[in-house]
A and B are shown apart, each in its own frame.
Chain A
Amino acid sequence: MGYLVAAYGVLWAVSFGLVFSMVLRQRRLDAELQAVRLLVEEESDLEAGQ
Chain B
Amino acid sequence: MKRQRETLLLGMTILSAVLVLVALYLALIGAPDADLSSETGRYAQRIIYFHIATAWVGFLAFFVTFVGGVGYLRTQRRVWDIVALSSAEIGTVFMLGVLVSGSIWAKPAWGVWWVWDERLTISLVQFLIYVGYLMLRTSVEDPSRRARFAAVYGIVAFISVPINFIAIRLWRTQHPLMFGIEGGGLSDNMMFAFAFTLISFSIWYTTLMWHRIRLEQFRDDVEQLKQKFLA
Contact = CB atoms under 8 A, between A and B. Distances in A.
Asked if A and B bind, the verdict is: yes
Given A22-B212, A29-B215, A29-B218, A7 B104 contact: yes
A46 interface: no
Contacts of B211: 22
The B interface is mostly helix, strand or loop, or mixed, namely helix
Main secondary structure of the interface of A (DSSP, over half): helix
Contacts, number: 75
Contacts of B104: 3, 6-7, 10
B51 A26 contact: no
Interface string A1-43: 1011011101100110111001001100100110010011001
A14 B93 contact: yes
Given A8-B50, A18-B208, A39-B230, A3 B44 contact: yes
Interface stretch (B119-127, B129-137, B184-192, B221-229): B221-229
Interface residues of A, number: 23
B225 A36 contact: yes
B32 interface: no
Interface in B40-59: 40, 43-44, 46-47, 50-51, 54
A39 to B, nearest CB: 6
Given A8-B47, A33-B222, A39 B108 contact: no
7 contacts: A4-B47, A7-B51, A10-B97, A11-B54, A17-B93, A29-B218, A29-B222
The 9 closest A-B pairs by CB, nearest first: A7-B104, A7-B47, A14-B97, A7-B101, A4-B43, A18-B93, A10-B100, A11-B97, A3-B44
